[in-house]
Structure formats: C-alpha cells, structure tokens
Amino acid sequence: MSSAFCGICVVLVVTLTRTYCFQWTAVLPDETVKYACVGDDIVLPWGYTTSPRTVVDSIQWFFHGSSQELVAIFANGNFQPTASFSGRVTQLTRAGLNLSHVTNGDKGNYSVEVSGHNASGVSFSYRRTVTLRIVELQTSDGELHATLDPQAIYSNTTGRWSLVLSCGNFTYLTDPPFTMEWQTPSGAVIPSDGYTDGHFQLHVTSGGDYTCRIPQHAAADACLHNASSHHATVHVDRMEARMTLMEARQGQLEKENKQLKNEVAELKDREAHRYTSLAESVYNLTDKVNQSVAFTAWLIAPHSGNSIIVTFDHIVTNVGDGYSPTTGIFTAPVAGLYFFRLTSAPSSMNAYPDATLRKEGVAICVAGSAKDVYGEEASCGATVHLDAGQRVWVGSGNYLAGSYTSFAGFLVNVD
C-alpha cells in the first residue's frame, strides 16, 4: 500500500517506477498467526522500503500477552531490548525480530511500530502485528512412543478384559486438539479410545503390530521432529497377549471366589450372633417374668405395743427373701407392683386391733376397729408400687394377738 503521508509518491509511482516513501514488504503480512514449539527460535521478518529522502527515526517492538510491554527499541542506530527481553531478542534486517527459546509465557501479540518523517518534515508511524501461538502438544524427546501397558484392564461396562496400548508421552496434559489414529494388524484405521496424562490409548484383545499416527490434518498441531516422528509402532506378541488376558480373568475369578467365601463366612457369623442374642433375650425375658416374690408371716407372741414396727416372727412363706422376720421389714428385691395384706386382732378384751401398713413410713392402709371386743379382727389390703430397695412394714402401738395377726404380700408384676 502506498503511504498517505507522501503526497508526491503517487506521481513517483507513475513516473519513476517503484520509488515509494514507505512500504511494508510482503514477507510477514499483518495479523499473521505463527505457531512455535517451546524452545524454538522464532523469526519475525518485518521489512519495509522507503524512498531515499524518507528518514526512519525509530522502531519499537511491543508485546501484548500475559503482560503488556515494550520489547525493544531501535533509535539512533542503536538496538536496545528492555530488561525482560534482554539476551533473548536480536534485531534482524530493518524491523525484523528474532526471539529465541520461546516459552509458554511468550504467547501473545507482537507488534512493530516504525516512525519517521518525509523530506518535508512530515512525520509518520506504521504498525504491524503478529500473533504467536505456542504449540503445547509435544513429547519430551520430540518422538512418539507406542507401548503396551504391563497390566490388563477390566471394563465393568463391557465386562471384558483388554490390553492397553499407549501412544504419546506428550507433555501436554489437558484435552488434546486431535485424536490419534491407530492402524490395527488387520489394516483398519480406528481412533484412540482414551487419553490420559499425555497418552492416547487403544484397548485391544489380540496381538500383532499396532501403529499410532497423528492424523494428517493435525500434523501442524504437534511439536515433533519430522514426518517420521508422527507415527510409532508397538508389537504385541500374540501368545503373550492371550496369556496376559487369561491370567487376568483367572485372577479375577479367584478374587471373586475369595470375596464370596468371605461373604458367606460373614453371613454365618452374623446369623450365629443373631441367634445368640435372641437366646439371651429370651433368657433375660423369662428371667424377668419368672421373678417371684411372696411372703406370709404371723406373730408368735403378742405384740406388746412397746415397739412401733410389728415383727411377724413366724414365717409361712418367704419366696425371694424380701421379708425379714428379725426386723419385720419387707424390702422390695425388684421394682414392680406389689399387693400387701394386713390382718390384726386385739390381744385382750380392752385392746384395739389398730395397725397401719406403711411404705417408707407413710401410711398406705389402716386395719382398725372402734370396738374393744375381744376376738374382733381388722384387716386392710393395698396395691402399691415399689422401687427396688423400698420398704414396707406394719406399725402399731397397740396390743396385738399372736397367731391371729399376720402380714402377707406378693409381687403382682415386675416393671
């Protein structure tokens, strides 16, 4: 494109052929996208021509990527890179730039700006940009490697074992921009069926030669040495392949068998445990229901009325040993509902048969008579709840007859 700042140029083009004031050369068009592998030297051969009386004052190179900065400046015949590009850039002819040992951080846009003035002192400034992309798909040694994984793999979706072929050793770990092709021993070409950690995989079930190949359309996407580095072959021994798969299947069967055995043993154990615990429950329950507490006692000698607690000293029954004939106190061996009965008779013509049944000192029923008739008997009965250890006794300050005065009780049911 002829430059606008130079009004006379148009005339010159017609009269003196190819005499321009400022003209980019076509070597590196504007907005070109360049690809590079990490470690490459990249050359940006920006070039221009000027008419004899046009002066270029300065050339500046800029980087717009992970940072925005000046790369280098050329002025007064002096090329000066900035600190962050020092030692990595050199100037080529005119506006050309050589950036050596590129890294991932170098991806981005590079621009050059050429400034100057024409013979009449009118200044100009022209700019061009190149986008640099770093190809990340590369292997550590620039070659493809195809290998057979030592372990067979079980797919629980197909329920089958297979051998795994790996191709790559790419240092690029995210999703690759293409799918590797595999040529099988039958000559068929099929795509990879997996990609992990820089390796394209192919799951196979028989031996032979397998060749992985970067597809033609993707050749530029990989940083490999040369065309012969774009494919690799792995030989899978047919016999060995069969053995490996058979061993894997057998190993799985053994594992499953062991697992089943363990499960059966565990089940048996659990059943046995359940039975024991059931038997124990039944025993505990029977033990509880089986619990029996009952007593009957009467007075041998008349109660004098001197002591408050009546001591029934002749025991008829004392199942569960709740009643004490020495203290006259019944102590509940278990918590539950109890029934007590008290019968009293006066010891002489003038005595009253009054007696009181007490739970921990509190009256729960009174056997009494207003009459002082000899032979008159009084009685009372009560149902009462006792906690284990709570006490019940008969209290009386009266003269009570032997034999006719009695105290009985029994456990109705356990809590």
Ligand X SMILES: *[C@@H]1O[C@H](CO)[C@@H](O)[C@H](O)[C@H]1NC(C)=O
The whole-angstrom separation of Cα 19 and Cα 2 is 10
Cβ closest to ligand X, residue 34 vs residue 145:
145
CA–CA gap between residue 293 and residue 413 (Å, rounded): 9
Tokens at residue 217, please? 């359309």
Distance of CA 409 to the CA centre of its chain: 65
Minimum Å gap between C-beta 329 and ligand X is: 25
Q: Which is nearer to ligand X, 6 or 28 (CB)?
A: 6
Least Å distance, CB 8 to ligand X, is 5
**394 with 357: CB under 8 angstroms?**
yes
Measured CA to CA in angstroms, residue 146 lies from 3, 227, 229, 236 at distances of 56, 16, 11, 11
- Residue 90 or 379: the one with the smaller Cβ distance to ligand X is 90
Phi, psi of 226 (to 5 degrees): -155, -175
Smallest separation, CB 114 to ligand X (Å): 16
Cβ 227 to ligand X shortest distance, Å: 6
Would you tell me which residues interact with ligand X (CB under 6 A)?
5-8, 21, 31, 41, 43, 64-65, 90, 98, 100, 108-109, 118-120, 122, 129, 131, 140, 145, 147, 156, 169, 225-226, 228-229, 277, 280-281, 283-284, 286-287, 290
Asked whether the beta carbons of 131 and 109 are under 8 A apart, the reply is yes
Q: Which is nearer to ligand X, 257 or 276 (CB)?
A: 276
DSSP 303: B
Chain centre distance of CA 102: 40
CB of 129 to ligand X, least distance (A): 5
Nearer to ligand X, 136 or 396 (CB): 136
10 Å Cβ neighbour count for 137? 20
Calpha distance 13→34 (Å, rounded): 33
Closer residue to ligand X, CB minimum distance, 163 or 299: 163
Residue 317, both tokens: 């029954």
Q: How far is the CB of 6 from ligand X (least distance, A)?
A: 5
Question: 44 vs 392, which CB is nearer to ligand X?
Answer: 44
Q: How far is the CB of 226 from ligand X (least distance, A)?
A: 4
Give the distance from CA 73 to its chain's centroid: 54
Length of the chain counted residue by residue: 415
> Phi, psi at residue 124, to the nearest 5°?
-140, 165
Cβ of residue 79: shortest distance to ligand X, in angstroms? 13
CA–CA separation, 152 vs 347, rounded Å?
104
Dump the DSSP string for 3-29. Answer: -TT-TTHHHHHHHSTT--SEEE-TTS-
